[in-house]
């Protein structure tokens, strides 16, 4: 029995006729996520990692002349370090995600990129500067975790050493139920992302949907959900002060309302 052919799916929009779940596409590895991160964020959303790195060097040297070493906490794929390594004699990174670490290590031959959690790490040395950039600190899920992370950063600074911290949004700055899109390409590799942001108490949640197409592999679809805490300015200030920092300054941000917090270890 042949039966009747299944009806054609109704066309939707511009010639799209069906949607497929992510399982229908080729598998995605952790290294692909790190590659996609660079595609979306590497200097493509109004960011310039080079400019930020040279600003950081200036901020550090103004407050701590002779600063020679720097640790980038939650360094991701090493984009800041790729510039900072030319300014400081010695740089290292710390990163929790294996795919990001591999990408950073490939990008930065000879630079130590440690596997570690910003809330609990010990490298048995100190640095002239510690950075924690692009709001990675927002992954701390509570005030207690925020303080643990700041304590760890302070413990890795020499006296007079400089902290440069780029906070996540405060509750006042966050607008839930908004949609953002990103389009990026690198040669024939093309990516589109759509993000819906929401809020659950003091936590901001970003549901990101990505489509990545490249010759030889096809089109892959995946989603990511990022939960980041909306700490207040006071919570940041208290955590920085109680970790043993003085000369705490709020400077204008590089590209949106998020400021830069700069402080000196007493
Ligand atoms: C928004 S990215 C920023 C990466 C990099 N600092 C930059 O500016 O491109 C946040 C990074 O924080 C890392 N991360 C999240 N939680 C972490 C933790 N508890 N300890 C260390 N790294 C963490 C993520 O894996 C990711 O690479």
Q: Is 79 in the pocket of ligand 1 (CB under 6 A)?
A: yes
Q: Is the CB of 117 under 6 A from ligand 1?
A: yes
Whether pLDDT at 138 is above 60: yes
> Residue 45's CB: how many other CB atoms inside 10 A?
12
Is the minimum distance from the CB of 132 to ligand 1 under 6 angstroms?
no
**In the predicted model, what is the mean pLDDT of residues 33-44?**
86
For 132, phi then psi, to 5°, come to -145, 105
Instruction: Pick the atom of ligand 1 nearest to 133's CA.
Output: 6
Tell the residue nearest (CA) to atom 9 of ligand 1.
76
State if residue 113 touches ligand 1 by the CB under 6 angstroms criterion: no
Q: How distant is the alpha carbon of residue 222 from its chain centre?
A: 18
**How confident is residue 45, by pLDDT bands cut at 50, 70 and 90?**
low
Report the range of poorest mean pLDDT among 85-89, 136-140, 196-200, 208-212: 208-212
pLDDT for residue 12 is more than 80: no
C-alpha dihedral over 251, 253, 257, 259, to 10 degrees? -40
Closest residue by CA, ligand 1 atom 27: 76
Inter-residue contact 148 to 158 (CB < 8 Å): no
Q: What is the pLDDT of residue 236?
A: 98
Q: Which of 102, 128, 125, 129 is nearest to 113 (CA)?
A: 102
Is ligand 1 within 6 A of the CB of residue 168? Answer: no
Report the nearest atom of ligand 1 relative to the CA of 76.
Answer: 27
- Residue 21 banded pLDDT, cuts 50, 70, 90: very low
Indicate whether residue 63 lines ligand 1 (CB < 6 A): no
The neighbour count for residue 145, using CB atoms within 10 Å, is: 18
Q: Tens digit of pLDDT for each residue in 142-193?
A: 999 999 999 999 999 999 999 999 999 999 999 999 999 999 999 999 999 9
Domains, in order of start, for the chain: 10-44+172-229 (2.20.130.10), 45-169+231-265 (3.40.50.150)
User: What are the distances in angstroms from CA 59 to CA 3, 71, 88, 171, 255?
Assistant: 74, 15, 13, 27, 17
Token look-up 């002349």 returns: 65
DSSP-based three-state secondary structure for 157: strand
What is the pLDDT of the chain when averaged over all its residues?
A: 90
Nearest Cα residue to 97 out of 66, 67, 75, 126 = 75
For residue 118, give both structure tokens: 């910003």
Query: Would the CB of 97 count as within 6 Å of ligand 1?
Result: yes
201-258 confidence digits (pLDDT tens): 999 999 888 899 999 988 888 888 899 999 999 999 999 999 999 999 999 999 899 9
The verdict on pTM exceeding 0.85 is yes
């Amino acid at each position: 029995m042949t039966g009747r052919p299944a009806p054609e799916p109704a066309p939707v929009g511009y010639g799209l006729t069906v949607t497929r779940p992510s399982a229908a596409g080729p598998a995605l590895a952790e290294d692909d996520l790190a590659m996609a991160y660079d595609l979306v964020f590497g200097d493509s959303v109004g960011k310039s990692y080079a400019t930020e790195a040279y600003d950081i060097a200036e901020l550090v040297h103004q407050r701590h002349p002779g600063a020679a070493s720097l640790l980038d906490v939650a360094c991701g794929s090493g984009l800041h370090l790729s510039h900072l390594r030319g300014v400081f004699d010695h740089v290292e990174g710390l990163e929790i995600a294996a795919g990001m670490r591999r990408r950073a290590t490939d990008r930065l031959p000879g630079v130590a990129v440690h596997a570690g959690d910003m809330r609990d790490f010990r490298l048995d040395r100190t640095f002239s500067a510690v950075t924690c950039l692009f709001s990675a600190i927002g992954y701390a899920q509570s005030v207690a975790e925020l303080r643990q992370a700041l304590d760890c950063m302070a413990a890795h600074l020499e006296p007079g050493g400089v902290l440069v911290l780029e906070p996540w949004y405060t509750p006042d700055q966050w607008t839930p139920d908004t949609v953002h899109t990103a389009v990026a390409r690198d040669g024939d590799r093309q990516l589109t992302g759509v993000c819906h942001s929401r809020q659950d108490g003091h936590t901001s949640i970003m549901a990101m949907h990505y489509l990545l197409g490249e010759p030889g592999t096809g089109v892959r679809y995946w989603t990511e959900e990022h939960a980041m805490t909306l700490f207040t300015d006071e919570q940041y200030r208290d955590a920085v002060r109680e970790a043993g920092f003085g000369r705490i300054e709020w400077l204008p941000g590089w590209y949106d309302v998020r400021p830069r917090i700069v402080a000196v270890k007493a």
